[in-house]
Structure 1
């Protein structure tokens, strides 16, 4: 059984069999969000998902730790972490920190038509937990636990609801929530809960930073 811990904003930490995998330790996450990781995955280059200082802290704390990410991020950090950065893209599969990882998706969600779209990948772990980064990517296989980007400059709640309906996970846990106030959270919880318009039967919940869930 693995264990999932929510970190700040879009970052999560998973542990299994004594190994630790961290996804998206960005500038809105704790400074030590990736410390102790055996593997770090980064979905894209935006600062709230990718922070070189947090990656450096992780790799200095564990000389065996490695990073998997898409080309746009790898090009920024390969020189700083020689031999420890792996470039991945849609359709790739690999093992990191004991987790079987599949890569899904290619592009960041549209923020505005006048802004060029950057690349973005999502990671499916052990065929169960999916972190899509900044996109509403639908993998070509069922997802048990979805890390749901609940609020972002590129989304609206109707799109989040439709994404849950289409993906139909058993459980959805909020990420990308660092810009939400406590007042806003009550609105999102209602819209995505049983009193809302319906999210395809997914069990929707939130974890406070540092809170853990057994998977």
Structure 2
């Protein structure tokens, strides 16, 4: 499986000539979802869910499908009958040849006064886990963890503890649009030294074979 990092929390996976894209939101490239055979969205916040990008991807490939939680599915299902699928914690499905398990239910707490929205994470082919905006522990072995490195709802100590709890073979950064380049070495040092796993990051557009 080939992983290509896109901007912020968007990742592209390719296998056997098929492409799956997770979270082509407003902080990702305008064309982040184009060419996808399957699209997954973790939750409704605009940096993960951009309706225009999803519509463009679904229009460009009439065979493409979208798997997501109810709040997003309800926005798009009427225009794409039979192509938008609602999923939740505990579900399993096959999307464009990728086997996907759904883990998690709620977005991390931003502030007690801000209501929590639904958030799901996706374990793809029993190997790569994208948690969206939560530090969800899937409770199964994870080869590659896409780790939300910096967000309004987390701090670096929580990210370190998350790596220690999940114990992936490797961790790669996502949710990094908020983090200035000048500060990246601080986070790299902390996660490399204390996370207990092989931690790295890809520049948007760079790829890795998993």
More displaced stretch, 175-184 vs 79-88: 79-88
Report what 1:39 is aligned to. Answer: 38
Within 5 Å, give how 1:1-215 maps onto structure 2. Answer: 2-194=1-193, 198-200=194-196, 202-215=197-210
Aligned length: 210
Q: Deviations over 1:53-82 (max 9, x none)?
A: 110111111110000000111112112322
State the alpha-carbon separation in 2 of the partners of residues 9 and 100 from structure 1. Answer: 24
**Greater Cα offset, 184-193 or 63-72:** 184-193
CA distance in 1, matches of 2:202, 2:60: 26
SS in 1 for 2:79: coil
**CA offsets per residue over residues 98-147 of structure 1, 9 Å max, x none?**
11000000000000001111000000001100000000000121101000
Query: What secondary structure is seen at the aligned counterpart in 2 of 1:13?
Result: strand
Deviation at 1:186, TM superposition (A): 1.2
> Which ranges of structure 1 fall in alignment gaps of 5 or more residues?
none
Q: For 1:134-179, what per-residue CA distance to the aligned partner results, in whole angstroms no more than 9, with x for missing partners?
A: 0000012110100000000000000000000000101000000011
Q: Is the 8 A contact 2:139 2:166 kept in 1?
A: no
TM-score (norm 2): 0.99
Q: Distance in 2 between matches of 1:81 and 1:154?
A: 33
Contact preservation (8 Å) 2:32, 2:53: yes
For residues 173 and 133 of structure 2, the distance between their equivalents in structure 1, rounded to whole angstroms, comes to: 13
**1: distance between equivalents of 2:31 and 2:172?**
22
Calculate the TM-score normalised by the size of structure 1. 0.96
